[in-house]
Structure 1
Amino acid sequence: MPETTLADLAHEVRSKNAGPFWVTMELFMRDAEGYRIAADESFLNERVIAELYRVERSTVQLFRIPALNVVKISFPRPVSQGSLRDRDIHAGQHHVPLARLRIPGRAGSSTVS
């Protein structure tokens, strides 16, 4: 049975640019249990994001918003928006590695492959 991913527990996982120099991703969790997992610092933290996105750990910002069951993550873009090496001007695809992050010890029907 495939492992459960963050996408399985979320209503929506999205990314967007936050100005020309930052990317923001948001996890809108379906319920309090999903939020509890996504907000768990031993599971999702600055080190994990830094490794997933190859950015400096010290630049990663995580915001946990329990009243909304939302986790927001921001970090500097690898290249500035619209520059010659920018491959995603709207940062609309950056959320995919986060959405595919597997929840340890939870099996389920994964909708993300």
Structure 2
Amino acid sequence: MPKLNDVCSHVRSKNAGPFWITVDLFFPDAETFARYSDAPSLTSSAVAAMFGVDPVRMKRFMVTDLSVLKFSYPRATPQGGTMERDMHGGQQYVRLLDVEL
């Protein structure tokens, strides 16, 4: 089975304000997007489980015109707290790279 890292042309995560993180999955073309964007491992509940988030709070957006799948979820603690390990949210995407589609 292909992994997300093999299929997507780019995967990134970043802040979506001080209380949210967003993860963007860029597919190389519309055909690849159509084939993999509805994979069982890319449902809101599956991704929520990977990030330890309540599935009800996970937001999933399909940007078909751009062949992009986006997930947004609340941060465990607000950005910039004393225990912050990834202030800009730029390393959150890594756990998705080996997800099998």
TM-score by length of 2: 0.92
Taking the aligned partners of 2:35 and 2:25, their CA distance within structure 1 comes to 11
Taking the aligned partners of 1:37 and 1:79, their CA distance within structure 2 comes to 35
One-letter amino acid of the structure 2 residue matched with residue 71 of structure 1: L
Partner residue, 2:26: 28
**Aligned-pair distance for 1:43?**
3.7
Which structure: larger Rg?
A: 1
Give 1 or 2: higher strand fraction: 1
Long gaps (5+) in structure 1: 104-113
TM-score by length of 1: 0.83
**Aligned-pair distance for 1:99?**
2.0
Partner residue, 2:92: 94
Give 1 or 2: higher helix fraction: 2
Partner residue, 2:74: 76
After TM superposition, the runs of 4+ consecutive aligned structure 1 residues lying more than 3 A away are: none
Aligned residues: 101
**Aligned-pair distance for 1:86?**
1.2
Identity level (%): 38
